[in-house]
Homo-oligomer: A and B are copies of this chain.
Amino acid sequence: MKKTPRRTTIYDIAQLADASPSAVSSVLNGTWKKRRISVKLAERVTQVAEAQGYAVNAQASLLRREKSNVIGMIVPKYDNRYFGQIAERFEEMARARGLFPVVTCTQRDPELEFEAAKELVSWQADCVISTGATDPDRISAFCSAAGVQSLNLDLPGTAAPSVVSDNRAGARVLTALILDRCAAEFGTSGALRFVGGRLSDHNSARRLEGFLEEHRARGIEVPEAHVLATGYSADKAAAALSGFRPTGPTGLFVNSTIALEGVVRWLGELGPAMDLVRYGCFDWDPFGGYLPGNVGMVEQDVEAMLSRVLGMVGEEAPAGEVSYVPCLLREFGADGVSPRTGQGG
C-alpha cells in the first residue's frame, strides 16, 4: 500500500507475476480460458492484482474495444421524484444488463443538453437517451452523424424513436377522478381549472387534451380562463392563482409537482375557503397524499418506460415512432390504496 506515483498497469503486474502483459490482460478480463492460460498462472496474476489494488484503465481498454457498453442518459433535473427515479432505476437496470450507465443532469438548458450529449458521444457511448429534452432532435442529429444511436424518453422527438407516458389518457382518468370526488363531496361538479405547465410543451398539451376530453364527455364546458398553464415553477402557479378566491366548490387539475408546490402555497393563504378546494396532480410525490384536499396523483410508470427504452438499445426502430406507456392513478382519501391504471385510447 505504498503511494505509487502512477497507477498500476498490467505491465507492472506482469513483471511481479512473472508473466506477459497479454496474459495478465486476459486473466483480468476473463478471457483467459479461451487463451488457454493455466489456472496456476491465472491465480498468481489475480493475487498480485488484488494485492496491488489494480483497476483497469477504462480508457485504454475501451480504446481498443469496438463496443463500449457505455450507455448515456441526459436528465433535466434530479430534484423531483419522477426524474430522480428515472435516473436511479436507469442506472440499476442498465447495470443489470451489463451496460455502464452514465447519467448527466442538464438543468433544462438546451445548450447544456447538447454539450452533454456531445460529451457522452466523446465517451464512446453506444447509445444516448435524451430524457425530457427541450431539443431532442438536435441531439439525435448529432448522434446520428457520429454513428451513435439515440432514443428519447418522456418527451418525444421526430428524429429518433421515443418512449413517453400516455399523458392524454392519464390526464383524462385524473380529471374524471377529480370531477367525481368534487361531485361526491360537494354535490356539484363544474369545470376544473388546469394549473401549471406550458402548452408549447408536448406533455402539457396532451394532458390538456385529456382534461378537455373528459369534460366534453360529461357535457361540461371549460371556460378559457380555467386554463392556467403559465409555466413550470411553483411561483408561476401560485401567481396564476393569486387573484382567485374560491367562493364555491372548486376543483384543480395540477400539472406537475412543481406546480403543486405553488398550489399548496396558495391554499395556505386561503384560510377556511381552502375546504372548498379539491385537486389532483399529474405526477407523484410521497407527501402528496397527505396534503389536504388532494384526491389523487398520477404516477408515471418509470419502470415500464425504462424497460421499454432499454429494450430498444441496439435495435433498429423507425425514427419518429412513439411508444406510449400507461400511467398509474393513485387515489387518496376515498379508499386510498389501490392504484388504477390510466389506460385508454
Contact B56 A122 (CB under 8 A): yes
CA distance A54 to B56 in the complex (A): 27
Residue from the list B4, B84, B261 in contact with A79, Cβ < 8 A:
B84
Chain B residue at smallest Cβ distance from A287: B287
Contact A3 B147 (CB under 8 A): yes
Residue from the list B58, B59, B88 in contact with A105, Cβ < 8 A:
B88
Q: Does A290 contact B (CB under 8 A)?
A: yes
Q: Does A291 contact B (CB under 8 A)?
A: yes
Q: Does A55 contact B (CB under 8 A)?
A: yes
CA distance A309 to B215 in the complex (A): 53
- Interface range for A: 35 or more
Residues on B with beta carbons closer than 8 Å to the beta carbon of A84: 77-80, 84
Q: Does A7 contact B (CB under 8 A)?
A: yes
Per-residue 0/1 for A81-125: is the Cβ within 8 Å of any B Cβ (1 yes, 0 no)? 100110110011000000011111101000000000011011110
Of the listed stretches A38-46, A138-146, A196-204, A242-250, chain B binds: A138-146
Q: In whole Å, how far is A50's beta carbon from the nearest beta carbon of chain B? A: 10
Residues on B with beta carbons closer than 8 Å to the beta carbon of A107: 88, 92
Per-residue 0/1 for A232-272: is the Cβ within 8 Å of any B Cβ (1 yes, 0 no)? 00100000000000000000000000001100110110000
CA distance A118 to B8 in the complex (A): 13
Q: Does A285 contact B (CB under 8 A)?
A: yes
CA distance A147 to B287 in the complex (A): 44
Contact A105 B91 (CB under 8 A): yes
Q: Does A37 contact B (CB under 8 A)?
A: no
Residue from the list B85, B119, B291 in contact with A291, Cβ < 8 A:
B291
List 11 A–B pairs whose Cβ atoms lie within 8 Å, in order of A's numbering: A3-B144, A3-B147, A55-B121, A58-B59, A58-B122, A60-B63, A77-B88, A102-B102, A103-B104, A268-B290, A290-B292
